[in-house]
Amino acid sequence: MSIENLTVLIKGGGEMASGVAHRLSRCHFRVCMTEISKPQAVRREVSFCEAVYEGEKTVEGITAKLVDTHEEIPKTWNNNKIPIIVDPDANIK
């Protein structure tokens, strides 16, 4: 199995989680993030959770995009973006 076929689910989109997602994405892992409906990041400029408010958030050349449904996730990966979905309990699994 190649790295491109591995999927990493990250619960939360704050500064630490965004750093992990950013690095994994740059290493060609398929990353998906879950978030609460009203995230409260301290360092919002470097947190992908801002996509919940803005629709998209780019951090150092990597973009996360808010998706509304699970069906949108593969399309988001195909556009070289990290999907982030509001799913407080990470039921997406």
92 in any annotated domain: no
Contact of 21 with 14, CB cutoff 8 Å? no
93 in a structural domain? no
Assigned domain for 50 exists: yes
HSE-CB at 48 with a 13 A cutoff on CA atoms is 32
Q: Let me know if residue 10 belongs to a domain.
A: yes
The number of domains in the chain is: 1
pTM attached to this predicted model? 0.92
User: pLDDT, tens digit, for every residue of 35-86?
Assistant: 999 998 888 899 999 999 999 999 999 999 999 999 999 999 999 999 999 9
User: What pLDDT, on the 0 to 100 scale, is given for residue 4?
Assistant: 66
Cα 13 to chain centroid, rounded: 7
Cβ contact 10:20 at 8 Å: yes
Query: For residue 77, what are the domain limits?
Result: 3-86
